[in-house]
Amino acid sequence: MPSGTIRDVGIRGIACAVPDNRVPIDACCDRFEKEHVDKFVKMTGIRSRHLMVGGQCVSDLCCVAAQRLLEHLDWDPQSVGALLFISSTPDYRLPATACVLQHRLGLGKDCAAFDMNLGCSSYPYGVWLASTLLQSSGIERALLLVGNQINLYIDPDDRATAMLFGDAGSATALERQEGSLMRYRLKTNGDGFRKIIVPAGGARNREYGREPYLHADGSFRSDYSYYLNGTDVFNFTITEVPEIISELLHDCQLPREDIDLYVLHQANLFILQRIAAKLKIPMSKVPVSIDRFGNTSGASLPLTLVTCAGDAVKDRLQTVLCGFGVGLSWGALSLEIDKAACLPLIYSNEGYAEGSPDHV
């Protein structure tokens, strides 16, 4: 069962980047009635998002975050033995975006670089996998880059999702560190694969056209657009998330009061409040970034940590992180982190001109 302890691997630094383009939510009032926007704001808590401009990709945000981290930690890029890029929105169908990033970051050839396709559960899975590599593969240092640009797939007329997602990328530096301890639990329920899906655009369903049509579940949509079954995902969340966190706390042998921050995937504020109520934890221990940045999918855990850790009183924080969503996939992680390891948020509109097909 994928649960256990990661010993002697520490998180040295976390950096996040968002586009330097803040869009307040009422900008959406030109497409949706004010009443609907107000109701949406009340339920989700979203007041603004940062949205990409031009051809920027989430890998660009991850790249600038990683560069800042390498400088801050004074790491020789050649010393990084593994680079993981976890995203459901890679730059290309192929090659893996991690390979491009290995090149852009000036890492050495002695580096295992690869992509992994996950969404909101990316961070716990990523920390677990990067740590496992550090423990068992003769690697000293790893970079974990996580981010998604879900807006690529959103139908701008879909009232449920058009205002939901913001753009963000993150980079986390992991290194062997004696005495460090993290605990994790990871789960999957593929029975729910249709609950959050972009059905066409990959190999499956390639004969389908792009026009929207009425689906068997009553939704009217194109198979190339992002679909979210809000009710079933809500049920999944309020059932499974409190359970996995309770299990993890039991593994840690820690009472819930000893945890300084419960960093939860920023799905929507209503869900965060429901989870906190079920776990009987105060909202003061559940940091919120969705108000300023929207639902940032995989990057939401590190983004929430870097934008909220600074408010904490203690220098070293005992945290529980929980990511949950598309797959259905979810994971929880307990770790101690230094406030100083969280770098100030980066604002960037940088792209990658050399990524275009005509660049020689």
- Point out which residues bind other proteins (CB under 8 A): 35-36, 39-40, 43, 159-160, 217-218, 228-232, 234-235, 238-239, 270, 274
> Which of residues 79 and 229 has its CB atom nearest to other proteins in the complex?
229
DSSP conformation class of 295: B
For the CB of residue 272, give the shortest distance to other proteins in the complex, in Å.
13
What DSSP string describes 241-279?
HHHHHHHHHHHHT--GGG-SEEEE--S-HHHHHHHHHHH
> Which of residues 35 and 358 has its CB atom nearest to other proteins in the complex?
35
> Which of residues 61 and 233 has its CB atom nearest to other proteins in the complex?
233
Cis peptide before 90 (omega within 30 of 0): no
For the CB of residue 218, give the shortest distance to other proteins in the complex, in Å.
6
Whether the CB-CB separation of 174 and 10 falls below 8 Å is answered with yes
Kindly give the pairing relationship between strand 261-264 and strand 48-50.
unpaired
Cα(114)–Cα(88) distance, integer angstroms? 13
Cα(289)–Cα(49) distance, integer angstroms? 10
For the CB of residue 224, give the shortest distance to other proteins in the complex, in Å.
20
CA 201 to chain centre: 22
Integer Rg of the chain from CA: 20
Cα(195)–Cα(190) distance, integer angstroms? 10
For the CB of residue 237, give the shortest distance to other proteins in the complex, in Å.
10
> Which of residues 35 and 315 has its CB atom nearest to other proteins in the complex?
35
> Which of residues 72 and 274 has its CB atom nearest to other proteins in the complex?
274
> Which of residues 238 and 288 has its CB atom nearest to other proteins in the complex?
238
Cα–Cα nearest to 142, from 185, 171, 180, 121 = 171
> Which of residues 186 and 275 has its CB atom nearest to other proteins in the complex?
275
DSSP conformation class of 342: B
For the CB of residue 164, give the shortest distance to other proteins in the complex, in Å.
11
For the CB of residue 43, give the shortest distance to other proteins in the complex, in Å.
5
Residue 293: how many CA atoms within 13 Å on its side-chain side?
Answer: 32
**Residue written as tokens 């959103």?**
154
